Homo-oligomer: A and B are copies of this chain.
Amino acid sequence: MNTDDVLGKAPLFAALDRESAAALRTGISEVELHKGQTLFSEGETGDRLYVVLDGKIKLVRTAPDGRENLLSVLGPSEMFGELSLFDPRPRTASAIALTDVRLAGLGHDDLRPWLTGRPEVALHLLRALAQRLRRTNDVMADLVFTDVPGRVGKALLDLAERFGQRTEEGLRVHHDLTQEELAQYVGASRETVNKALADFAQRGWLRIEAKAVVIMDAERLHARSR
- A: residues with CB less than 8 A from B are 61, 63-65, 67, 69, 71, 82-83, 86-87, 89, 92-93, 115-117, 119-120, 122-123, 125-127, 129-134, 136-141, 143-145, 187, 226
In contact, B87 and A131 (Cβ under 8 angstroms): yes
With A and B bound together, what is the CA distance between A93 and B133 in angstroms? 12
Known: A92-B137, A119-B119, A140-B140. A67 touches B145 (CB 8 A): yes
Which chain B residue has the least Cβ–Cβ distance from A134? B92
Contacts of A82 in B (CB 8 A): 130
Is B136 touching A136 in the complex (CB atoms < 8 A)?
A: yes
A87 and B141: CB pair below 8 A?
A: no
Contact indicator B136/A126 (Cβ below 8 Å): no
Number of copies of chain A assembled together: 2
Give chain B nearest CB distance to A123 CB in angstroms.
6
The chain B residue sitting closest to A82, CB to CB, is: B130
Task: Given A129-B130, A133-B132, A136-B136, decide whether A141 and B61 contact each other with a Cβ distance below 8 A.
Answer: yes
- The interface residues of chain B lying within 8 Å CB-to-CB of A132 are 133
Q: Which residues of B contact A139 (CB under 8 A)?
A: 140
Check if A134 sits within 8 Å of B86, measured CB to CB: no
Nearest CB to that of A92 among chain B residues? B134
A-B contact pairs, 13 of them (CB 8 A): A63-B145, A69-B141, A69-B145, A83-B133, A86-B123, A86-B130, A117-B119, A119-B119, A136-B136, A136-B140, A140-B187, A143-B144, A143-B187
Q: Which residue in chain B gives the minimum CB-CB distance to A138?
A: B92
Question: Once the chains bind, are B144 and A64 in contact (CB under 8 Å)?
Answer: no
- Do A144 and B187 touch (CB < 8 A)? yes
Nearest opposing residue in chain B for A131, CB measure: B87
Of A64, A86, A117, most buried by chain B (CB within 10 Å of CB) is A86
